[in-house]
Amino acid sequence: MAARVTPSTREPLSRESIAAGALALADREGLEAVTIRRLAQENSVTPMALYWHFKDKDAVLDGIAERLFADVELPEPIGLSWDHELRRVLAAVLAAVRPHPLAAELMVMRTMRSESGLVLAERVIGILIAAGFSPAEAAQAGSFLLCSIVTLVVTEPRKDNTVDDETWDDHYRAKRAELESLSPKKYPNLLAAAEFFMYCPSEDDYYDRGLDFLISGTVGVRTP
Amino acid sequence: MAARVTPSTREPLSRESIAAGALALADREGLEAVTIRRLAQENSVTPMALYWHFKDKDAVLDGIAERLFADVELPEPIGLSWDHELRRVLAAVLAAVRPHPLAAELMVMRTMRSESGLVLAERVIGILIAAGFSPAEAAQAGSFLLCSIVTLVVTEPRKDNTVDDETWDDHYRAKRAELESLSPKKYPNLLAAAEFFMYCPSEDDYYDRGLDFLISGTVGVRTP
DNA sequence: ACCTGAACACCGTTCAAGT
DNA sequence: ACCTGAACACCGTTCAAGT
């Protein structure tokens, strides 16, 4: 029984397997749990072993981001108007990012460091330039749109899975009680909306509205 | 000379002075330089001294965020349409955040933990609800708008001040050469926009377009 | 090529103690 | 009330060495 778990049966390390394990760990316990030493332990290996496969910890994080970008299944263009094509691309990014709310922030500022990220960026910038954006405008809008997808996922009010259910219930009740104890005279609107900062009535509505917002914004800043 | 710097002449600690010093440190060297031990050193005090004023490190970060929100000078309403009033408020947030690109991310998820943050949120949610947004829609849009201001500031292509000029010049040239060596067949649009991922032609244009985007997006998702 | 082992300079935090 | 001192369990990383 226990013999099956001895170090001698360990799988060989690789950039990909380490990155995949790191992403899984981030999904389970959050990004701050992803440390060199912890990853070494999970791979039944010495911390220094990881430095053979990655230059430093930042390169490991690049590896996680790379895996996230690789999960984006870019849709083939089907001849819709540019704003509808853009929405399909953003929806594909969203679909890839949603399962990884605790790791998603790594995609910000790391887009150009992986093949998949570059392909995605080329696609978005291409749509924007074809729509009449200048290169400078397209670069800004493209960067902002990708960050916004990450923002939507990261800030979606959710039951975080890094703690057990009762702990989170306590935390939730405490936070909500705190918000709802605010002065009704000073914060009437905040009180009316209080519950929606902690709880999302419909995830699909939330993300549909998010995409609507981004497309409206993009259309709105175009100067054709 | 050296006598003037002896520990005995040290100013008394306080929540506010520690938070202000922490923000200044983050501005100079980035958030990862803000450690309990470093702050202790800068205040000529033992690390443990900080635990009298703050519960833990997260509370110190709350303190920094609090200072950032306190810098927002909310404009008085002047009877414009709701979207123009919203733009004035977002512009005020932007003005407060722009000087602190390396610390700005702390404002995300910490809005409700300080008086100034609550006042800002009440104002934004108030505008949205008055414009016809439901409480749930207003909560989502309000959260997203604030995060977006932070995103604009954090992702603005800039010469980061955590390293000296030549180091950054080298880094800049290397990055740009890397981007511009991409296959023109595979990444034509990315190449056309390459320089604008690293360099901002006009900060004012950049932020004007950012605010335009956010207002267009908000107007676009309203269902009156 | 791939991994180990010992060491270094850092972290945040607890606990008991000083004034 | 406000701060110190020693200690603990962590970090990332360098350098030399093993197979």
Confidence at residue B167, expressed as pLDDT on a 0 to 100 scale: 78
**Which is more confidently placed, B96 or A176?**
B96
- List, in sequence order, the alpha helices (H) in A50-81: 50-53, 57-70
Confidence at residue B59, expressed as pLDDT on a 0 to 100 scale: 98
Q: Is the pLDDT assigned to residue A6 strictly greater than 90? A: no
Separation CA B62–CA B109 (nearest Å): 10
**Which is more confidently placed, B7 or A136?**
A136
Separation CA B32–CA A151 (nearest Å): 21
**Can you tell me which residue has its alpha carbon closest to the C1' of nucleotide C3?**
A49
Q: Is the pLDDT assigned to residue A221 strictly greater than 50? A: yes
Report yes or no: B170 at the A interface, CB cutoff 8 Å.
no
Separation CA A126–CA B100 (nearest Å): 32
Report yes or no: A193 at the B interface, CB cutoff 8 Å.
yes
Q: Output DSSP code: residue B160.
A: -
pLDDT confidence tier of residue A213, bands split at 50, 70 and 90: very high
Provide the CA A20 to C1' D14 distance, Å, integer: 27
Separation CA A127–CA A11 (nearest Å): 43
Confidence at residue A5, expressed as pLDDT on a 0 to 100 scale: 39
Confidence at residue A3, expressed as pLDDT on a 0 to 100 scale: 33
Tokens, residue A155: 């800030």
In this prediction, residues A149-178 reach a mean pLDDT of 87
Question: Is the C-beta of residue B42 closer than 7 Å to nucleic acid chain C?
Answer: no
State whether the Cα torsion A114-A119-A124-A130 is positive or negative.
Answer: positive
| pLDDT, chain B, mean | 93
Separation CA B36–CA B57 (nearest Å): 7
In this prediction, residues A92-108 reach a mean pLDDT of 98
Separation CA B146–CA A190 (nearest Å): 15
Share of chain B above pLDDT 90, in %: 83
Q: Which residue of A143, A218, A221 is in closest CB contact with B197?
A: A143
Confidence at residue B3, expressed as pLDDT on a 0 to 100 scale: 33
Q: Is the pLDDT assigned to residue B8 strictly greater than 80? A: no
Range in A7-11, B86-90, B145-149 the model is least confident about: A7-11
Confidence at residue B9, expressed as pLDDT on a 0 to 100 scale: 63
- List, in sequence order, the alpha helices (H) in chain B: 15-29, 36-42, 50-53, 57-70, 82-97, 115-130, 135-155, 165-180, 188-193, 203-221
Q: Output DSSP code: residue A74.
A: P
pLDDT confidence tier of residue A4, bands split at 50, 70 and 90: very low
Kindly report, residue by residue over B31-81, the tens digit of the pLDDT.
999 999 999 999 999 999 999 999 999 999 999 999 999 999 999 999 999
Provide the CA B50 to C1' D5 distance, Å, integer: 15
Separation CA A157–CA B150 (nearest Å): 18
Report the largest interatomic distance among the alpha carbons of chain A, rounded to a whole angstrom.
69
Separation CA B163–CA B146 (nearest Å): 29
Alpha carbon A132 to its chain centroid, in Å, reads 29
HSE toward the beta carbon, residue A22, CA cutoff 13 A: 32
